């Protein structure tokens, strides 16, 4: 009876009280509320929204539907980073070991690919043997020992969100600011963090492409953090083109290893350093962002950050030799260059078409139960604004067979547009949002 009354009230623009949210979400996590009722409620929220108090109450209700990582006893600060998702976004793979190597604990809980966007767990699982399904006890022990664990949302963490998120994916109710904010923050707060850094993507490849919606999401998550004593800093970054060159699981792990070895593409390094600087300042190990940047550069040039990644891989059952020999990662049977069809300027490298191309090649799921071919994907060397000549290589497709090559070339034709002139792409990092307000990024 409770669920029906709440759906009716939300449908008619009313409010749900904190006690009602608690009761509803704990019953949903216990399988006592059917998915069809939650789907109707999610759609009512999609259209009518939630006010601040309701968003806080929903977040709390999902957070307390499960267990939390208990890391209070650690002397180190505990800071995580979360991205709203994109194509080629392998920042977590570089950032987590880099920041952990500098003395801030990173209890990183990541997701799988969703829609056209890739997922950190799928990327990590291209490393032979790597396990992301650690229990909370094992993750805690690893964080105490190495300062970092790279895990998935276990069954114990925010089970109400886990169920609701899958339902939203199937009912076209993902793109709601209060639902996204409550979903992300319930999981992040369950990590027992002392601070959080968010990377909110904007541009055609982001879940919320518009700047205004990105800023509204950032503010909502910052408020939720503040209400729970967890300071949150958000950067808005560009997803109107892929980040870095590699797009696809193995290829992104290879690029991340290169980045940790000091040879990462400039845009990937700029976003990694900007987010890492916020983490190190919030974690109290760097005096300011310039100091943080210097420390990260030294951690990379000295090999300390790469060594930390190697330790994490070994601790989670993966083959640590991939750091020195990335050819141990699954390799595609076929590859082919994609060439410019005309002279001109690269006007667009549309990320959604690349993301859908990875799915077509078998590198991302369309259903939860699907397997993933880790070896496939793209390396896109062309950047918006590049002047190119007909016949020049712009990208490479990696596929399991010739049919895959044809699908990959078609995706690149859809994504890459060459014109006589091009509008400038979005700034790589455009805004920094904190509790104090919004600053333009210099
Ligand atoms: N990521 C999440 O964890 N939840 C959402 O709702 C959207 C992105």
Domain containing 372 — which CATH number?
A: 3.90.1170.30
Distance in Å, CA 376 to ligand 1 centroid: 25
Active site residue 82: yes
Residue 349, CA distances (Å) to 84, 98, 244, 306, 342 in order: 20, 29, 12, 30, 15
Long-range contacts of 295-302 (CB under 8 A, 24+ apart): 295/102, 296/98, 296/99, 296/102, 296/272, 299/98, 299/101, 299/102, 300/98, 300/259, 300/260, 300/261, 300/262, 301/262
Alpha carbons 36 and 183: distance in angstroms, whole number: 19
Q: Are 201 and 78 in contact (CB under 8 A)?
A: no
| Catalytic residue, candidates 82, 201, 219, 432 | 82
Q: Residue 319 is encoded by which pair of tokens?
A: 């083959």
Check 168, 356, 374, 431 and give the catalytic one.
168
Partners of 348 in the β-ladder: 417
The helix (H) or strand (E) run that includes residue 313 is: helix 304-315
Q: What is the reported pLDDT for 1?
A: 65
Residue 314 domain-assigned (yes or no): yes
Pocket probe for ligand 1: among 121, 180, 224, the residue whose CB has the most ligand atoms within 8 Å is 180
The angle subtended at Cα 141 by Cα 136 and Cα 63, nearest 5°, is: 30
Provide the domain limits for residue 364: 331-419
In a domain, 111, yes or no: yes
Q: Which of 398, 394, 393 shows the shortest CA–CA distance to 347?
A: 394
* Residue 63 included in any domain: no
61: in domain: no
Is 404 domain-assigned?
A: yes
Q: What is the pLDDT of residues 109-123, one digit of tens each?
A: 988 877 788 889 999
Ligand 1 contacts CB of residue 174 (under 6 A): yes
Distance from the alpha carbon of residue 183 to the mean position of ligand 1, in angstroms:
5
Residue 206 lies in a domain: yes
Q: Are residues 263 and 205 in the same domain?
A: yes
The answer to whether residues 143 and 205 belong to one domain is yes
CA distance 272 to 264: 10
Query: Model-level pTM greater than 0.75?
Result: yes
Q: Does residue 298 sit in the same domain as residue 407?
A: no
- Provide the token pair at 129: 């043997």
| DSSP 8-state code for residue 28 | H
d(CA 104, CA 194): 10
Question: Are 191 and 287 members of one domain?
Answer: yes
Kindly give the confidence (pLDDT) of every residue in the chain, 442 residues in length, as a single tens digit, with 9 standing for 90 and above. Answer: 689 999 999 999 999 999 999 999 999 999 999 999 999 999 999 999 999 999 999 999 999 999 999 999 999 999 999 999 899 999 999 999 999 999 999 999 988 877 788 889 999 999 999 999 999 999 999 999 999 999 998 888 999 998 998 899 889 898 899 999 999 999 999 999 999 999 999 999 998 999 999 999 999 999 999 999 999 999 999 999 999 999 999 999 999 999 999 999 999 999 999 999 999 999 999 999 999 999 999 999 999 999 999 999 999 999 999 999 999 999 999 999 999 999 999 999 999 999 999 999 999 887 767 889 999 999 999 999 999 999 999 999 999 999 999 999 999 999 999 999 999 999 999 999 999 999 999 8
Query: Which atom of ligand 1 is found nearest the CA of 174?
Result: 6
3-class DSSP assignment, residue 235: strand
Please indicate, yes or no, whether residues 299 and 348 belong to a single structural domain of this protein: no
Whose Cα sits closest to atom 5 in ligand 1? 180
- What CATH number has the domain bearing residue 113? 3.40.1030.10
Catalytic site residue 291? no
Ligand 1 in reach of 398 Cβ (< 6 A): no
Residues 93 and 137 in one domain: yes
Task: Supply the CATH number for residue 26's domain.
Answer: 1.20.970.10
317 and 176 share one domain: yes
Full strand arrangement of the beta sheet holding 393-399: 246-247, 377-380, 393-399, 334-339
Encoded tokens for 181: 């904010």
Residue nearest to atom 2 of ligand 1 (CA): 184
Distance between Cα 334 and ligand 1 center (Å): 34
111 plus 213 within the same structural domain: yes
183 is catalytic: yes
The half-sphere exposure of 117 on its side-chain side, counting CA atoms within 13 A, is 22
Whether residues 126 and 180 share a domain: the answer is: yes
Q: How far is the CA of 280 from the CAs of 188, 218, 219, in angstroms?
A: 18, 20, 21
**CA 196 to centroid of ligand 1, rounded, Å:** 15
Determine the distance separating the centroid of ligand 1 and the alpha carbon of 265, expressed in angstroms: 27
In a domain, 15, yes or no: yes
Same domain, 153 and 265: yes
Contact 427, 238 (CB under 8 A): yes
In a domain, 55, yes or no: no
Q: How far apart are CA 327 and CA 253, in angstroms?
A: 11
Number of domains in the chain: 3
163: CA distance to ligand 1 center in Å? Answer: 12
**Ligand 1 atom 7: residue of nearest CA:** 180
Q: Is any ligand 1 atom within 6 A of the Cβ of residue 110?
A: no
Question: Which atom number of ligand 1 is nearest to the Cα of residue 182?
Answer: 6
The b-or-e profile of 165-194 (16+ CB within 10 A means b, else e) is bebbeebebbebbbbbbbbbbbbbbbbbbb
On the 0-12 / 13-18 / 19+ scale of CB atoms within 10 A, 37 is middle
**In this structure, are 313 and 338 located in the same domain?**
no
* Rounded CA separation 94/46 (Å): 35
**Would the CB of 173 count as within 6 Å of ligand 1?**
no
Both 132 and 190 in a single domain?
yes
């Amino acid at each position: 009876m409770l669920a029906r009354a709440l759906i009716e009230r939300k449908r008619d623009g009313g409010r749900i009280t904190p006690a009602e949210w608690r009761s509803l979400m704990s019953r949903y996590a216990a399988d006592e509320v059917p998915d069809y009722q939650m789907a109707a409620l999610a759609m009512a929220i999609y259209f009518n929204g939630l006010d601040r108090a309701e968003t806080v109450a929903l977040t709390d209700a999902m957070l307390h539907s499960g267990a939390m990582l208990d890391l209070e006893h650690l002397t180190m600060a505990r800071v995580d980073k979360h991205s709203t998702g994109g194509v080629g976004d392998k920042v977590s793979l570089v950032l987590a070991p880099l920041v952990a190597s500098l003395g801030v604990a990173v209890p990183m809980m990541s997701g799988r690919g969703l829609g056209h966007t890739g997922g950190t767990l799928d990327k990590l699982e291209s490393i032979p043997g790597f396990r992301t399904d650690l229990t909370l006890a094992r993750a805690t022990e690893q964080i105490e020992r190495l300062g970092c664990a790279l895990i998935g949302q276990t069954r114990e963490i925010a089970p109400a969100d886990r169920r609701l998120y899958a339902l939203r994916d199937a009912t076209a109710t993902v793109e709601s600011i209060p639902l996204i904010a409550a979903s992300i923050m319930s999981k992040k707060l369950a990590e027992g963090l002392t601070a959080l850094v968010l990377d909110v993507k904007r541009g055609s490849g982001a879940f919320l492409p518009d700047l205004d919606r990105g800023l509204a999401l950032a503010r909502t998550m910052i408020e939720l953090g503040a209400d729970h004593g967890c300071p949150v800093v958000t950067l808005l970054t560009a997803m109107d083109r892929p980040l870095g060159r590699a797009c696809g699981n193995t290829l992104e792990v290879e690029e991340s290893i290169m980045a940790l070895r000091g040879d990462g593409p400039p845009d990937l390094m700029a976003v990694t350093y900007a987010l890492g600087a916020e983490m190190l300042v919030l974690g109290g190990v760097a005096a300011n962002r310039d100091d943080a940047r210097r420390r990260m550069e030294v951690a990379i040039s000295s090999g300390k950050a790469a060594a930390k990644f190697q330790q994490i891989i070994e601790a989670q059952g993966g083959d640590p030799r991939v750091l020195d020999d990335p050819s141990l990662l699954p390799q595609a049977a076929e590859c082919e260059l994609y060439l410019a069809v005309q002279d001109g300027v690269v006007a667009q490298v549309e990320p959604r078409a690349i993301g859908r191309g990875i799915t077509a090649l078998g590198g991302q799921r369309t259903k939860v139960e699907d397997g993933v071919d880790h070896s496939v994907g793209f390396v896109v060397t062309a950047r918006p604004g590049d002047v190119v000549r007909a016949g020049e290589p712009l990208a490479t497709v990696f596929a399991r067979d010739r049919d895959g090559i044809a699908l990959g070339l078609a995706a690149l034709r859809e994504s890459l547009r060459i014109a006589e002139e091009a509008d400038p792409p979005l700034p790589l990092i455009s805004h920094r949002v904190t509790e104090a307000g919004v600053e333009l990024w210099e």
